[in-house]
Amino acid sequence: MKKIVLASSSPRRKELLLKYKIQPLIVSSNISEQINSNENPEEVAMSLAYEKAYNVSKKFKNGEIIIGADTLVCLDENILGKPKDEQEAFSMLKTLNNREHFVITGLAIIKANTNLKIIEYEKTAVTFRYLTDEKIKKYIETGEYKDKAGAYAVQGLGEVLVEKIVGCYSNVVGLPITKLDTLLEKHFNVSLL
Ligand SMILES: Cc1cn([C@H]2C[C@H](O)[C@@H](COP(=O)(O)OP(=O)(O)OP(=O)(O)O)O2)c(=O)[nH]c1=O
C-alpha cells in the first residue's frame, strides 16, 4: 500500500482520517500561519495547506503521498482564524451570531519526489442560531473555542450553536473527506475505503 502522510497536528484531522484503512503517518508541519486578510480566503486556505504539505514532503523521498489542510472561517470577506483569548473568541462568536458564514478548507496533496501536486478547497455554509451574550459566555467557559477557527467546534458542544449546515460536514471539522477521496482516487490511485 502507498504510504500516506497527514501533515497536521490537528487531533480533528487525525480522527477523521484514522477511521479509514490507509493507516496514515502523522507528521506535524510546524509552519507559522500568517493570514493576510486582504487576500481571497480560498487562496489563503489553499496556500497554507500547500505550505504545510510541502514542508512535510521535504522529509520524504519515496513517492509518499502527503496531505495538508487549512481551515478558516469567512464572514463578509473577513477571515477568522483561531482566537488568541476569550475576548477574541467572544467577539468572533458575536459576529457569527444569528447568520450564515462559510467554512473553507484548503486541501493540498503532494507526491514526494515528484512534481505531482493537487491543491483545491471545499466551502461549506454554516448558519448560527440566535445566541444571547449569556449563551456565548457559557460556551466560552467550556474552553472548547481554543485552537478552533471561528472559535467553535461543530463536532463538540458547539453543535448547539448551529442551526443549519449546507455542504460537506467534515469540511467544517477540518478535512473534507469526500473531496479528499475523490482527489486521491483521481490523481494518486488511492481509495480511503
Ligand atoms: C469551524 C471548526 C474548526 N475546527 C478546527 C479544525 C482545525 O484544527 C482548526 C483550524 O486550524 P488549522 O490552522 O486549519 O489547523 P491546525 O492548526 O489545528 O492543525 P495543522 O495546521 O497542524 O493541520 O479549527 C474544528 O475542529 N471544528 C469546527 O467546527
How many Å apart are CA 71 and CA 87, to the nearest integer? 21
Has residue 159 been placed in a domain? yes
Q: Strand 25-26 and strand 117-128: pairing?
A: unpaired
How many Å apart are CA 98 and CA 103, to the nearest integer? 16
Q: Which domain holds residue 111?
A: 4-188
Instruction: Specify the CATH number for the domain of residue 131.
Output: 3.90.950.10
Identity of the amino acid at 85: D
Select from 60, 176, 65 the least CA-distant residue to 118. Answer: 65
Report how far Cα 13 is from the mean position of its chain's Cα atoms: 8
Question: Which protein residue has the closest C-alpha to ligand 1 atom 23?
Answer: 8
193: cell is 475505503
Select from 17, 61, 32 the least CA-distant residue to 193. Answer: 17
Number of DSSP helices (H) and strands (E) in the chain, helices first? 6, 7
Best residue for ligand 1 mutational test, from 148, 163, 169 (most atoms within 8 Å of Cβ): 148
124: cell is 461549506
Has residue 31 been placed in a domain? yes
Has residue 69 been placed in a domain? yes
Model pLDDT, residue 77: 85
Global pTM reads 0.96
How many Å apart are CA 48 and CA 8, to the nearest integer? 12
Has residue 122 been placed in a domain? yes
Model pLDDT, residue 37: 66
- DSSP code per residue over 46-81: HHHHHHHHHHHHTT--S--EEEEEEEEEEETTEEE-
Ligand 1 close to Cβ of residue 93 (< 6 A): no
Centre of ligand 1 from the C-alpha of residue 171, in Å: 10
Question: Which protein residue has the closest C-alpha to ligand 1 atom 4?
Answer: 148
Has residue 33 been placed in a domain? yes
φ, ψ of residue 57 to 5 degrees: the values are -60, -25
Ligand 1 close to Cβ of residue 124 (< 6 A): no
Residues recognised as catalytic: 70
Has residue 149 been placed in a domain? yes
Per-position pLDDT tens, the chain of length 193 = 789 999 999 999 999 999 999 999 999 998 877 777 678 999 999 999 999 999 999 999 999 999 999 999 999 989 999 999 999 999 999 999 999 999 999 999 999 999 999 999 999 999 999 999 999 999 999 999 999 999 999 999 999 999 999 999 999 999 999 999 999 999 999 999 9
Q: Is 23 exposed, middle or buried (0-12, 13-18, 19+ CB in 10 A)?
A: exposed
Ligand 1 close to Cβ of residue 28 (< 6 A): yes
- Predicted-complex ipTM score: 0.96
Give SS3 for 193: coil
Has residue 193 been placed in a domain? no
Has residue 146 been placed in a domain? yes
Query: What sign does the dihedral 49-52-58-62 (CA atoms) show?
Result: negative
- Domain count across the chain: 1
Identity of the amino acid at 4: I
